[in-house]
Amino acid sequence: MSVLRPLSGTGADAVFLACFAAFFTLPFVCYLGLAKTGAVKLPTSKRGGAGRRLLGPLLIGYYYWLLGPLNQLVGRTQLRPNQVTVASLGVALLTAVAIATGHFSLASTLLIAGATLDIVDGQLARSTGLSTASGAFLDSTLDRIADGVIFGGCVVYYSGTWMMFVSLLALMMSFTVSYARSRGEGLGVLGAEGLMQRADRIAVLGIALAFSAFFGHRTEGFVPHPFYGLTAGALCLIAALNTATAIARIRWTMRRLAEASPPAELQPPSLEEQVEPLRRAVAGGTTLFGEEV
């Protein structure tokens, strides 16, 4: 029995990985053929400050093409975009639990499912004419919560190891990347400089989670709490690229703001600057404009 149990475990890992790879690889081959014949059009590459991504337009276009039938199916239902958005958060919570408890293969499936719903809600909103500012706000806000709980699951799983700090860095920098963009847009600077966008983080982590059990059980055995080096490496990559993206986005935004702002000597004095002489005069009992205060 002690021999059969590991064999059944490694066999299950192999079956899952084969299904996972086939699900994405076979349609991708078809997509490449369609792209080569011109039957599908690839998204154009974006320049600096316009949303460059670690994943190229080929992979992005492929996934949107793959979701085409699902988008059509959802469009025929009575589902509202906000309902799909909330459902994506629910899946993210399940993903966090799966990661925290060490069920990485399940977590990879849930992570990709949640990211898929996050795409579907936007497609549904556009196709049904239900795009609203409140819906966009809800989607962005719940995305931040989803990122927090997913990387929080990594923090819990790697608690007590150096990888816990890497997971925390990945979490913190993912928030910084998103906040830098939203704050910049609030100041009138549009753009998404940096390679590591949210979709890239999900793709890297999802693939690593899917392959971790297969390789981890062969290198570490069926121990109670495997380290899963593949996922650890992916988190290191995400943390590093998140940090680089945050720095690039901050620099990009500050340059655009500096270019848009006139020199200080040409700017009219602020209300605070106009009131300050009066405040000093009142405090010191001096004269203001020749009159005793």
Parse the chain into domains and list their residue ranges. Answer: 4-259
Residue 47 has pLDDT above 90, yes or no: no
- Which CATH code is given to the segment(s) 4-259? 1.20.120.1760
- List, for residues 214-232, the tens digit of each pLDDT value: 998 888 888 889 999 999 9
Residue 155 has pLDDT above 90, yes or no: yes
pLDDT at 280: 54
Residue 157: exposed, middle, or buried by beta-carbon count in 10 A (0-12, 13-18, 19+)? buried
Question: What is the C-alpha to C-alpha distance for residues 58 and 82, in angstroms, rounded to an integer?
Answer: 29
Confirm if 252 and 195 have CB atoms less than 8 A apart: no
Token pair, residue 10, equals 């490694």
pTM of the model: 0.81
Mean pLDDT of the chain: 83
- List, for residues 93-113, the tens digit of each pLDDT value: 999 999 999 999 999 999 999
pLDDT at 228: 94
pLDDT above 90 covers a percentage of the chain that reads 44
